[in-house]
Amino acid sequence: MFARIVWLVLRKDFTVEVRSLEIAYTTVFFAISCVLVFAFALVQEGRAPEGGAAGILWVAIAFAGTLALGRTFERERQSDTLRALLLAPAARPAIYVGKLLGIVALLLAAELLLVPLVAFLFQAPLLVRPGWLATVLLTGTIGFAAVGTLFAAMLVRARSRDVLLPVLLYPITVPVIIAGVRGTAALLQPEFDPGIIHFWLALLVCFDVVFVTLALWTFEPLMTD
Amino acid sequence: MIPFDTLVVDDVSRHFGRRRALSRVSFHAGRGTILGLLGPNGAGKSTLLAVLATLLRPSSGTVRYGGHDATARGASLRAAIGVLGHDLFLYPELTARENLEFFAGLYAVRDVRAAAQEALDQAGLADRADDGVAGFSRGMRQRLALERALIHRPRLLLLDEPFTGLDDASAAALGRRLLTLREGGAIVVLATHDLDIAERLLDRAIVLREGRLVETVDRPEALRSVYRSIMSRPDAASGFSRTDGA
Amino acid sequence: MPKWFTGAAVLCGLMFAVAPVLIANAPYESTMGLVQKIFYVHLPSAWVFLLSAIVCGVASVRFLFRGDPRQDRLAWAAAELVVLFGLVTLVTGPLWARKAWGTWWQWDVRLTSSLMGWMVAVAYLLLRKYGGPGSDKLGAGLALFGMANVPFVYISVNYWRTIHPATSVVPTLPSSFGVPLWFSAVTFLLLFVLLLRLRVRLQEQHAALDALYLSMDA
């Protein structure tokens, strides 16, 4: 029952996005713009500062992710369809999970383009250890999106939601950003130290578990008025 | 789903900060009734519909659905309630069929495909079933949205200004559909400010003004004169409710 | 206002008048010099900052699941004090750091996590001010997430880098340093209680005023 609702919401979001591609195009292009802005700000004599590539990658993910979250829920506001979802007798946490998976899928797709771009523009060996990189990106994206989906959903009813989303989201997701950047930077080191990666991955997994659980627990009371 | 035949609203108030959207409203409706909520904009019709839909909790008072309290049984009650909001609740990027099948799935309708096909026939949209809703006219969307709200065969149907923007033919069709539902024993609660429609369709009407129930009208033919006299009344309390800072 | 309030306010004022004398008469610390005296303000305000954050978080969780508006008023008042005492902490910290570490700011664990906690409280106040109706629940959600985030910020920043002096030095300080410190801490605590009571009182009166408007309307 729970899984069926998750699947329905996820499939619906996917169909809508495939038809318009609005969020995918704008998110990806925005992420690329972020990368370029950082390139102009940081690159000197044709090279990025050491470890800069990892930071630029994660800042682009965080910024583009906020944009995607805002747009996704703005879409549910247009014909008041979020209200229609809440009116259904379906379990509300299932609606949250469906939305979360949609956002995670979208961000992972954007990262698929971002990683080679950053590697190419900053001569960073990002693709040397693709398995580890994918794991760091996946766990980090889930953590960011878990908090972001809940906040974006509850801000649908609020005024000034566009500016409040990043204001609320960034202070809470600081551990994700630190762990993501440090984990990715460790992958770029010439001599690979699995201990460091294990530490950051463990932190990210714990963050994901704690915040997804909290979001599932609070989604119902936060969405009822 | 909890089947119920009566809707009892008992002394319901709802305020937002210091603005009182609903003030001590009480009424009831039995099976096979079309009940109208009449009143000017800002009278509290939409707030009352949101409370009846279990989306908003009353600040005080209770709503009972055939003996069940709204706060106690959220999800299973919602399975018996259909809502047609002012914004229609349709995804413009999806086709008519996809919209219907998605909501049929959310409401756990047993045969999703058959239910969607039946709804398309009922809405007269069978030949446009696989076209995107974005290309539909207001009337077509309205018919689709109504069938979407009815896809799980609710016992209570809540409609917010469903006649806005409809031509005469679509309005007549919607009226006939509501009368069929009444025959089937459903409770229909309809917010409107159109007196012509109200006279033809409603069994009973309650008139709201500034969140208060000012009149219950049991004879539709008396509606027009009652409504006129209420709206021409000067309102003593308006001086206070306009001062809210929110 | 309760009866104790005026008395406590006068006492708090007197303590704030006496504290500088005690601090001035405390022994002159040889390596840090005069700058060390900032500690008599920095440490107590940091403790009260932490206390406000805990009060805000606990009250928010209780409000979220029980819906008691008194808890919401307490959470809002506490969040304001998190911002206030956090500001004192974050301003006095770098003043001390400039002398001790030769730099205004260090991305060490306690500074960074304090800054993050302070940011969450500012975000909470922004949400309450500009979020419109329903922002009470959203604020409670934010406070809950902010609390859950504390260990993660702490661990992540700690592993990232750290040079802050450990708290364990406090109980072992000679009493000549300790007396002004504890006096100062009690003074700050009293100020916290007074301000909290004052702000909750203001919120209560707002709520009472709303109720009056509503009763006139009915």
Instruction: Confirm whether C6 is domain-assigned.
Output: no
Neighbour tally for B211: CB within 10 Å = 26
Report which of B11, B43, B47, B21 is spatially closest to residue B244, judged by C-alpha positions. B21
Quote the domain boundaries for residue C51: 38-165+175-217
**Of residues C68, C141, B48, the one with CA closest to residue A155:** C141
Residue C20 falls inside a structural domain: no
Q: Is the pLDDT of residue B240 over 50?
A: no
Can you list the positions of beta strands (E) in B167-223?
187-192, 204-209, 212-217
For residue A34, the distance in angstroms to the closest alpha carbon of chain B comes to: 29
Q: What is the mean pLDDT of residues B153-170?
A: 89
What is the tally of structural domains in chain C? 1
CA distance B235 to chain A (A): 30
Task: Please check the confidence at residue B3 and state whether its pLDDT lies above 90.
Answer: no
Is the Cα dihedral B103, B108, B113, B114 positive or negative? negative
Q: What is the mean pLDDT of residues A87-103?
A: 94
Cα dihedral value A85, A87, A93, A98, nearest 10: -10
Exposure of B175 by Cβ count < 10 A (0-12 exposed, 13-18 middle, 19+ buried)? middle
Distance of residue C121 Cα from the nearest chain A Cα, in angstroms: 10
Q: What is the ipTM of this complex?
A: 0.90
Q: How far is CA A53 from CA A57, A72, B107, in A?
A: 6, 28, 47
Evaluate whether residue C195 is within a structural domain. yes
Tokens 């005080």 label which residue? B60
Write the residue in A164, A170, A222 that is nearest to C130 by C-beta.
Answer: A164
Which DSSP letter does residue A98 get? H
Facing A80 at nearest CB: one of B1, B87, B94 = B87
pLDDT in tens, B23-39: 899 999 998 999 999 98
Q: Which of C129, C136, C203, C214 to mutate to test the interface with B (most CBs of B within 10 A)?
A: C214
**Phi/psi at B13 (5° precision):** -125, 150
Q: Where along chain B do its domains lie?
A: 1-78+154-234, 81-153
> Is B88 within 8 Å of A79 when comparing Cβ atoms?
yes
State how far the Cα of B149 lies from the Cα of B20, in Å rounded to an integer.
Answer: 29
Give the pair of three-digit tokens for residue B151.
């896809």
Q: Do A164 and C131 touch (CB under 8 A)?
A: yes
Amino acid (one-letter) located at A97: V
pLDDT at B234: 67
Report chain A residues whose CB lies below 8 A from the CB of C134.
157-158, 225
Q: What's the pLDDT score for residue A225?
A: 74
CA distance B124 to A77: 27
Average pLDDT, rounded, for chain B: 86
* Distance, CA of B231 to chain centre: 22
For residues A32 and A26, give the distance between their C-alpha atoms in angstroms, rounded to a whole number. 10
pLDDT (average), residues B57-79:
82
Rounded mean pLDDT of B116-132? 94
Residue environment code for B95-115, b if the CB has 16+ CB neighbours within 10 A, otherwise e: bbbbbbbbbbbbbbbeebeeb
Confidence band for B239, pLDDT divided at 50, 70 and 90: very low
User: Would you say residue A94 has pLDDT above 60?
Assistant: yes
On the question of pLDDT at B243 being above 60, the answer is no
Percent of chain C with pLDDT over 90: 41
Task: Confirm or reject contact between A159 and chain B (CB < 8 A).
Answer: no
Q: What is the pLDDT of residue C217?
A: 63
Instruction: Check if A51 contacts C (Cβ < 8 Å).
Output: no
Class of B1-78+154-234 in CATH: alpha beta
A210 residue type, one letter: V
Q: Read off the tokens for A112.
A: 């698929």
What is the predicted pLDDT for the residue at B171?
87
**Is A220 a residue whose pLDDT tops 80?**
yes
Which residues, including other chains, have CB under 8 Å from residue B200's CB and lie 6 or more apart? B175, B220
Residue B238 confidence (pLDDT): 46
* Strands B212-217 and B156-160, bridge-based pairing: unpaired
Within a 13 Å sphere around the CA of B171, how many CA atoms are in the beta-carbon half? 14
Write down the pLDDT at residue B198.
82
- Asked whether the predicted pLDDT for residue C171 surpasses 60, the reply is no
Residue B233: other Cβ atoms inside 10 A: 10
Q: Which of A25-34, A138-147, B165-174 has the lowest mean pLDDT?
A: B165-174
Question: Which two tokens mark A41?
Answer: 């700000």
The per-residue pLDDT for C174 is 61
Q: Does C213 lie at the interface with B, CB-CB under 8 angstroms? A: yes
Q: Residues of A numbered 179-208 whose beta carbons fall under 8 angstroms of chain C's beta carbons: which are they?
A: 179, 182, 199, 203, 206-207
What count of other Cβ atoms lies within 10 Å of the Cβ of residue C138? 22
Average pLDDT, chain A: 91
pLDDT of residue C170: 52
Question: Mean of the per-residue pLDDT values for chain C?
Answer: 85
Q: In Å, how far are B37, B117, B207, B221, C27 from B224, measured between CA atoms?
A: 14, 40, 11, 7, 89
Place of tokens 């700058």: C35
Nearest one of B100, B123, B122 to B111, comparing CA atoms: B100
Q: Which residues in chain A are closer than 8 Å to C120, comparing Cβ atoms?
A: 171-172
Neighbours of chain A (3+ CB pairs under 8 A): B, C
Q: What is the structure's pLDDT at A48? A: 73
In this structure, the number of other CB atoms found within 10 A of the CB of residue B11 comes to 12
Q: Which residue has the higher pLDDT, B27 or B232?
A: B27
Q: Is residue C170 in a domain?
A: no
Interface of C with B in 74-133 (CB under 8 A): 133
In a domain, C129, yes or no: yes
